[in-house]
Amino acid sequence: MDTSDNHQHHPVHQHSPEKLERPERVRELNPSGTLERLNFGSADVLCDIGAGSGLFTLAAAQMSSQTVYALDINPRMLETIEAKAVAAGLGNIELRLVVD
């Protein structure tokens, strides 16, 4: 995946993966629990728009045998998701850089 571009992002989109994955935030969002409450299952496809560091993308990819799409305007976030997916052995995530 080529995530290089010359596009300048608005500062609001410069969150760091560390900020998005603060333990209290992860607990509050509870990605797996939220997806379970939505009856997300192994045959479902998810498109995570504004995927950030991939909290919901990775949870969905672990729960589903289908493709999970992660869309973000920040290449650094997509690189983070890709590294986590590789480390977790998840091959069902498609990354998409969105250019505004």
What ranges do the domains of the chain cover?
41-100
How far is 67 from 72, CA to CA, in rounded Å? Answer: 16
pLDDT digits (tens, 9 = 90+) for 54-89: 999 999 999 999 999 999 999 999 999 999 999 999
Q: What is the pLDDT of residue 7?
A: 46
- Is 67 in contact with 89 (CB distance < 8 Å)? no
pTM above 0.95, yes or no: no
Tell me the mean pLDDT in the region 14-37.
Answer: 82
What angle in degrees, to the nearest 10, is found between the helix axes of 55-63 and 75-88? Answer: 30
Q: What is the pLDDT of residue 11?
A: 52
Q: What is the pLDDT of residue 100?
A: 72
* Residue 92 pLDDT > 90: yes
CATH superfamily of 41-100: Vaccinia Virus protein VP39 (3.40.50.150)
